[in-house]
Amino acid sequence: MMASVVANGNQDGQSLVLNGVDPETCMIVFKNHWAQVVKILEKHDPLRSSSMHPTLSASAVQNYVEHMLFLLMEEESGQGGCMGPILEFVVMENVMERLFVWSLRREFTDEMKLEQLKMYEMLVGQARQPLLHHKPILRPLMMLLSSCSGTAAPAVEAELVLLLNQLCCILAKDPSILELFFHTSEDQGATNFLIFSLLIPYIHREGTVGQQARDALLLIMSLSAENERVARHVVENTYFCPVLATGLSGLYSSLPTKLEVPNEEWHCLHKVDWMRMPSLVQFLNSLEFCNAVIQVAHPSIKDQLVAYIYNGFLVPVLAPALHKLTLEEVMTTTAYLDLFLRSISETSLLQTFLSFILLHQHESVYILDTLVSRINTPFQLGTVSMALFRTLIGFYCEDVMLQLILRYLIPCNHMMLSQRRVVRERDFYSTSAAKMLALTPSCCSPDHSPPPLRQLDSILFSKGGADTPNSSNEQKSFSEEDDSSGNSCTIGSEIYLDVSYLHYLYDARLSISSCIRACQVWSALYDAEDPPPEKYQPGVLEEPKLEGRQTQTALKRVPKLLVSNARSGLPRGEPPSIHQLELEWDDSYDACPVQTTETPVEGKPAHLSPSEPPKHIQEMRRTAIMLVKGSYIEENEFQDDVMVYNLVAKKDSSEAEHAEETQSDPAHAPLRNGLTLPTSLVSDNDKNSLKAKAKGQTDCNGNLQNATPVESGEDFLAQYEELICILDSEGRGKRVKGDRELNKPVSPVEEEEEEEMDFMSFTAETPEPEKLQSPFGTVQRLRSGSSNRCYSVPFTGPFISVLFSRLENMLTNPLHVNLLLTGILAQLAAYPQPLLRSFLLNTNLVFQPTVRSLYQVLATVKSQIEELSASRLDFPERITAAQHWLLAREASFTATGDNNRLRVKLQCEIGFSDRIGKGWEPLP
């Protein structure tokens, strides 16, 4: 009431009027008013029985105070920066405190608080001279603030936070007041730094209040970077960091445990997705705030916060969430984790998340291993996991790449000993590229390409001066090299291939160069010399664990406040037994005789004997076996993980094939990692695929005819999409056969056999001994061949295995899966480390016989495609249509954003990340 009047007065002409008034007059008016107020204050002490009506006295006081404050606000500071006369008077007479005490003695309602808060907000914000330096002004302000601390009325809260925000702004501009703030609070017996403590409850608040509180806190955080005392206070005397971190946990718990997935292709949370989920927006705001705090705060605060996030959010909340029981829940958590990672910009926060993923063990299994194993899960969990790894690989983080791939390559066991020097060799004449490109299926060769949809490009490439530059044909510098098609070697403007290949080269160059630049900060070259392979042979690879790990040290710095919050049992990072460590994804266990348990799924051994593989591997095997064949196969018949992954991947396809049969699976088909798969999901899926099939049969021809390029925009695209869908569903049945034949060596079951299998009878509980006959055949053969395997069988790591096995199934994968897959591969191929580059791309490198190379995998895919194309008459037309569709798809990407295709792509992929950092720059 009072304040609003004053505010209005100010905005209207009054200040103009005042400008002309001389300071002495103002002073006289002020003193006059004050005398009147004092009279009322003395006469009508609310505690005494008053002669005057209390509301009347109040409004009279307010009236005077309005004017007085206005005069105070408008007063210029005196000469040489000393107080103006009115301010001096206010300080001498202790005006503010007396007013506050008076109002306190009356009924101190929310309304009163609101008024006083507004009064100070105005005074502090608009005064022309610094006021807060003076205790008689600061003290009543502090009293007011502390009296508002327990307030619940939203209006008061809003005003309180606004005022606090304003105070913080002033603090940020003039840190000299800081000392006063500390002292004044001490006088009050309140916590040292009142304005800070008052803000903490609003950290996770929604809307403007929360935003203002966070902005204000951030200002204090950046203050702490220079002011040791503030930092110490925050770390030692406040619950700031624990509140922040546990707040994340709280907000996380209110996120939906199951996402409503828009469609099958969906695999990561884009901005459009999370913008629709208020709880997620709120979580991201808080995460963003943590990120910003870590960015600006004093190192001690940063360390504390990071440790609390690790121990108060990641370990106790996110880790269990990643291991929930149902597919959808786990998928949802994975998608969240991916989004969080993309949202973080501050390296030390990112480090915390990454070290959680790479080093934390949940029930003695590394999070990373669990995540890797899920890539091959059917349904969306697999693709969501892939999207997560796309994010991880995109960080250009040495630690990630080390754990994911490089540590398996460092010992150089995957290649012949003599080949180590080849790792560093440069392929001057593109022999590897030629070999890789020779894998292009004949149906996709440039001769069969459709007329380009894009503008033509050309490269200038002519023999030194031998040509005449102006004719159109002269650039046939390689005409001698022509094979059959006459102009295939021309580098001119008319070859489609050149265009797309140039685009391809351009994109590749961009990603390679940015990757090279990023990897300059890495600690080693990874070139088969640095680190030296001899030093890191299997079993030696694991160094003494956890020496000086950063999170570990940070953990020690955590005060006792929240330690109870960390998960029960072992503190994180407690060195696990050496056995477990060495067994972790080590190939050794494959050679070890594995204990055969009679009860394959339910009866998990209570403890792991050292010779056994980690639990999740065992489980993965079991469930893989169960899923693929529905029959029970002795675990130790499995050679290595690659096979398991293969089988699981195969399961994907056989499931599509046998959709009808699977419907009658037991209520919860067990999946690896303790996941259970509700029947409803299975049957839904079946329906979909059936529908797709049916549609494919009926619509196919019509669609092909209708797909005229005249139609514009989305219709066009939608039709293509449908077409792809049809292609996909039709191709699926066909392909499976070819695939299976190619994979025969690892497939324990003969094809005909499988065709006849009754899926109903193959439940987890009822293994069928008679079915064991044929599976053993192939497996046995394999085993006998390698019975004397030495300890260190070359193994390129679970990630590569899983990736390759999904890649091998390209023909059955949906398009979006293949795009993800090839995207990840392209990311990997851009890495400059010779070990990785040579493993993926150098076809001259001779690998150990058991090591699968990318080339081999692609060759398999190629022959599958060739087989499929030979078996279909209309294949060329379909290829053309598909190519058009893909081009149209890309064109639609390009059309949505600017012309920079890469940028558009990045925006799609990263989407959120640039939000942080920009949004949190402290206000001036």
Partner 1 sequence: MFCPFYNRQPDEEQGGHADQKTSPARTSHKKHLPPIPKNAVPITKPASVGTPSHLANGTHASYGPFYLEYSLMAEFTLVIKQKLPGIYVQPSYKSALMWFGVIFIRHGLYQDGVFKFTVYIPDNYPDGECPKLVFDTPVFHPLVDPVSGELDVKRAFTKWRRNHNHIWQVLMYARTVFYKINTAEPLNPEAAVLYEKDGQLFKSKVVDGVKLCNSHLFDQPKVDDPFAISFSPWNPAVHDEAKERMFTFKRRPEEHHKGAQVSGLSWVKPGSTQPFSKVDSPQS
Considering only residues 446, 450, 823, 922, which one is a binding residue for partner 1 as defined by CB under 8 A? 446
State the nearest-atom distance from the C-beta of 830 to partner 1, in Å.
12
277 CB neighbour count, 10 Å cutoff: 16
d(CA 894, CA 433): 28
| Closer residue to partner 1 (CB): 86 or 314 | 314
d(CA 239, CA 181): 19
Task: Write the single-letter amino acid at 302.
Answer: K
| Closer residue to partner 1 (CB): 348 or 588 | 348
| Closer residue to partner 1 (CB): 303 or 590 | 303
| Closer residue to partner 1 (CB): 547 or 602 | 547
CA 344 centroid distance within chain: 8
| Closer residue to partner 1 (CB): 76 or 543 | 543
- Per CB under 8 A, which region of 380-388, 484-492, 703-711, 801-809 contacts partner 1? 484-492
Q: Is 397 in the site for partner 1 (CB under 8 A)?
A: yes
Q: Is 571 in the site for partner 1 (CB under 8 A)?
A: no
Q: Is 440 in the site for partner 1 (CB under 8 A)?
A: yes
| Closer residue to partner 1 (CB): 536 or 804 | 536
Residues 6+ apart with CB under 8 A from 407: 536, 541, 797
Cβ atoms of 142 and 148 closer than 8 Å:
no
Q: Which residues pair with 669 in a beta bridge?
A: 677
Q: Is 541 in the site for partner 1 (CB under 8 A)?
A: yes
Considering only residues 274, 283, 340, 396, which one is a binding residue for partner 1 as defined by CB under 8 A? 396
Residues in contact with partner 1, shown as a per-residue x/- string from 320 to 349 under the rule CB under 8 A: ---------------------------xx-
Residues 6+ apart with CB under 8 A from 79: none
State the nearest-atom distance from the C-beta of 636 to partner 1, in Å.
31
Parallel/antiparallel/unpaired status of strands 365-366 and 668-670 = unpaired
Q: Is 433 in the site for partner 1 (CB under 8 A)?
A: yes
| Closer residue to partner 1 (CB): 331 or 499 | 499
Considering only residues 108, 182, 239, 395, which one is a binding residue for partner 1 as defined by CB under 8 A? 395
Task: Write the single-letter amino acid at 231.
Answer: A
Q: Is 513 in the site for partner 1 (CB under 8 A)?
A: yes
Question: Torsion angle, CA of 795/797/800/801, rounded to 10 degrees?
Answer: 70
Return the residues of window 520-539 that contact partner 1 according to CB under 8 A.
Answer: 520-524, 531, 536
Q: Is 471 in the site for partner 1 (CB under 8 A)?
A: no
Query: CA 7 → CA 31, 125, 127, 141, distances in Å?
Result: 21, 12, 13, 19
State the nearest-atom distance from the C-beta of 801 to partner 1, in Å.
20
Considering only residues 399, 529, 753, 890, which one is a binding residue for partner 1 as defined by CB under 8 A? 399
Token code pair at residue 784: 């006998």
Residues 6+ apart with CB under 8 A from 186: 192
Q: Is 898 in the site for partner 1 (CB under 8 A)?
A: no
| Closer residue to partner 1 (CB): 636 or 827 | 827
Query: CA 354 → CA 248, 287, 290, distances in Å?
Result: 17, 15, 16
Q: Is 445 in the site for partner 1 (CB under 8 A)?
A: yes
DSSP codes, 94-127: THHHHHHHHHHHS---HHHHHHHHHHHHHHHHH-
Return the residues of window 348-367 that contact partner 1 according to CB under 8 A.
Answer: 348, 350-351, 354-355, 358-359
d(CA 320, CA 764): 25
- Per CB under 8 A, which region of 460-468, 715-723, 814-822, 904-912 contacts partner 1? 460-468
Cβ atoms of 707 and 881 closer than 8 Å:
yes
**Vertex 648, ends 642 and 651: CA angle to 5°?**
140
Query: CA 458 → CA 94, 454, 901, distances in Å?
Result: 83, 12, 19
Burial class (CB in 10 A: 0-12, 13-18, 19+), 803: buried
Residue pointed to by tokens 């056994």: 612
Considering only residues 51, 263, 418, 468, which one is a binding residue for partner 1 as defined by CB under 8 A? 468
CA 658 centroid distance within chain: 35
Considering only residues 47, 272, 466, 710, which one is a binding residue for partner 1 as defined by CB under 8 A? 466
Report DSSP state, residue 48.
S
Q: Is 482 in the site for partner 1 (CB under 8 A)?
A: yes
Q: Is 865 in the site for partner 1 (CB under 8 A)?
A: no
Q: Is 585 in the site for partner 1 (CB under 8 A)?
A: no
* # residues near partner 1 by CB under 8 A: 85
766 CB neighbour count, 10 Å cutoff: 11
- Per CB under 8 A, which region of 318-326, 546-554, 558-566, 677-685 contacts partner 1? 546-554
Q: Is 191 in the site for partner 1 (CB under 8 A)?
A: no
Token code pair at residue 726: 């049809």
Q: Is 449 in the site for partner 1 (CB under 8 A)?
A: no
Whether the upstream peptide bond of residue 769 has omega within 30° of 0, thus cis, is: no
| Closer residue to partner 1 (CB): 545 or 604 | 545
Q: Is 461 in the site for partner 1 (CB under 8 A)?
A: yes
Q: Taking Cα atoms as reference points, which of 203, 205, 182 lies closest to residue 194?
A: 182
Considering only residues 459, 591, 704, 815, which one is a binding residue for partner 1 as defined by CB under 8 A? 459
Q: Is 514 in the site for partner 1 (CB under 8 A)?
A: yes
Length of the chain: 924
Q: Is 451 in the site for partner 1 (CB under 8 A)?
A: no
State the nearest-atom distance from the C-beta of 552 to partner 1, in Å.
9
Burial class (CB in 10 A: 0-12, 13-18, 19+), 107: exposed
| Closer residue to partner 1 (CB): 150 or 465 | 465
d(CA 205, CA 251): 10
Residues 6+ apart with CB under 8 A from 508: 826, 830
State the nearest-atom distance from the C-beta of 529 to partner 1, in Å.
13
Report DSSP state, residue 75.
P
CA 158 centroid distance within chain: 33
Q: Is 837 in the site for partner 1 (CB under 8 A)?
A: no
Question: Torsion angle, CA of 621/626/628/633, rounded to 10 degrees?
Answer: 70
Cβ atoms of 353 and 360 closer than 8 Å:
no
Residues in contact with partner 1, shown as a per-residue x/- string from 754 to 783 under the rule CB under 8 A: ------------------------------
Considering only residues 178, 190, 491, 591, which one is a binding residue for partner 1 as defined by CB under 8 A? 491
| Closer residue to partner 1 (CB): 530 or 714 | 530
Considering only residues 428, 556, 598, 752, which one is a binding residue for partner 1 as defined by CB under 8 A? 428
State the nearest-atom distance from the C-beta of 810 to partner 1, in Å.
21
| Closer residue to partner 1 (CB): 465 or 603 | 465
| Closer residue to partner 1 (CB): 302 or 342 | 302
State the nearest-atom distance from the C-beta of 446 to partner 1, in Å.
6
d(CA 646, CA 797): 14
State the nearest-atom distance from the C-beta of 227 to partner 1, in Å.
19
Token code pair at residue 625: 């076996």
- Per CB under 8 A, which region of 155-163, 259-267, 488-496, 786-794 contacts partner 1? 488-496
Return the residues of window 260-319 that contact partner 1 according to CB under 8 A.
Answer: 299, 302
State the nearest-atom distance from the C-beta of 573 to partner 1, in Å.
10
Rg (CA), the chain: 35
List alpha helices for 609-657, DSSP H.
615-629, 641-657
Cβ atoms of 621 and 376 closer than 8 Å:
no
Q: Is 557 in the site for partner 1 (CB under 8 A)?
A: no
| Closer residue to partner 1 (CB): 24 or 483 | 483
Return the residues of window 403-422 that contact partner 1 according to CB under 8 A.
Answer: 403, 406-407, 410
Considering only residues 20, 469, 702, 849, which one is a binding residue for partner 1 as defined by CB under 8 A? 469
